[in-house]
Amino acid sequence: MSAESFQWPHAPPHFLAGPGTFMLTGATYGKEHYFRSRKRLRTLTECIHREANNYGWRLEAWAVFSNHYHWIGQAPDKEGASRLSEMIAKVHRQSAISVNELDDTPGRHVWHNYYESTLSFQRSYLARLHYVSQNPVRHGLVLRSEVYPWCSAGWLEKHATAGFRKTLASFKIDRLRVMDDF
């Protein structure tokens, strides 16, 4: 088997052919809750947004938790899509340095990996947009996702039309296959 065709079992393949809409999930090493405080969640959320902006990605939904995150974003172009690994590596590196400084554990392994999928069908996109927006409720953190500060649901509530919110709410999310066993 050639090196090009072999896939390590712990690392998902990342096939980004060009611009488009993607859903991404990142997970901490061992599902540890390294981002367990408000300050840490804010730091990680800001880091994700800053680097997405620096790389030209447009985030459309996000939910950040103590041991994982999800986001949906638009790649700016083919080059932007191909640089996703670089962008995520930077987010993971910067956020790991931050929590390791807070815990006085330099060099500790914080992040495990990330998984992305291309959202090429409108129904798939809308269902996952609803899923990410409702994720704080799914994890039992709040009764209404709009009040969870590290999620896009509050932004959506303020800025999206009532018709769009109603459309999103009509998509069932209980049978979606999303890596989210955190």
179 pLDDT more than 80: no
| Residue 61, beta-bridge partner list | 72
pLDDT at 7 over 60: no
pLDDT recorded at residue 48: 98
Q: What is the pLDDT of residue 171?
A: 87
Distances (CA, A) of 147 to 64, 92, 151, 162: 13, 26, 9, 18
Position with higher pLDDT, 169 vs 95: 95
Indicate if the pLDDT at residue 11 is higher than 70.
no
Sheet strands (E) in the chain: 21-28, 58-64, 68-74, 111-118
Mean pLDDT of 157-165: 90
Confidence of residue 18 (pLDDT cuts 50, 70, 90): low
pLDDT exceeds 90 at position 120? no
Query: Helices 122-138 and 162-169: crossing angle, nearest 10°?
Result: 80
Q: According to the model, what pLDDT value does residue 59 have?
A: 95
Domains in the chain, please, with CATH? 21-169 (3.30.70.1290)
The reported pLDDT for the residue numbered 177 is: 73
Q: What percent of the chain has pLDDT over 90?
A: 69
pLDDT above 50: residue 158: yes
